[in-house]
Structure 1
Amino acid sequence: MPRQELIRVAVIFEPGKGLRPVWFDRNRRQHQVKETTYRWQDRAGDKPLHHFSVTDGESLFELIYSPLEGVWTLVEQRPDP
C-alpha cells in the first residue's frame, strides 16, 4: 500500500466544475499545481472521496479530499513521464 500523509491544499471552487487544487504543501515546500491530469470519485464505506492526479511540472501526485472529514491526503508520488 502506498504511503499516505495529510497535507494542506489551496483550492478554487469553480461553478459547474467543482474543486480545483492550485497548490499544496509537502515537506515545508509549496508545490504549484500546473495541471490536473485526471479526477475521479469513489467511496470508503459511507465516506465519499474526491481524487485528483496532479503535476507540478516535475512529479505526478495523487491528492484525495474527504469532504466529510475536511482533510486532504497525499497518497503517492511518481516521477513525471
Structure 2
Amino acid sequence: MAARATTYGMVVYDHHDLAAEHVHRTGVLIKEGHVTALEDRWIGLEHAGEAFAALMSGRNRGKVVVEVTHQEQS
C-alpha cells in the first residue's frame, strides 16, 4: 500500500489572537541576541535587478534589501 500524507497550510492570520504574545516573546529573544534576522543587502538601485534575480532563484539567505539613498541636487 502506498504511503499517504495530508498537509495543511497555516498563515499568520489563523492565530491573530496570539500576535501580542508573539511580539513580546520574539522581541525579548531579539534583544538578548538569541535570534538574528538574516538579510542579503544590496547597495544602490542599480543592483535591484540582481537582487530580485537572487530572490527569485532562492540564492538569498533571509530577506533581500536594496538600499537606496536620496542624493541632493545642486
Query: Going by fraction, where is strand more abundant, 1 or 2?
Result: 1
Q: TM-score, normalised by structure 2?
A: 0.20
Which of these two proteins has the greater Rg computed from alpha carbons? Answer: 2
Query: Going by fraction, where is helix more abundant, 1 or 2?
Result: 2
Q: TM-score, normalised by structure 1?
A: 0.19
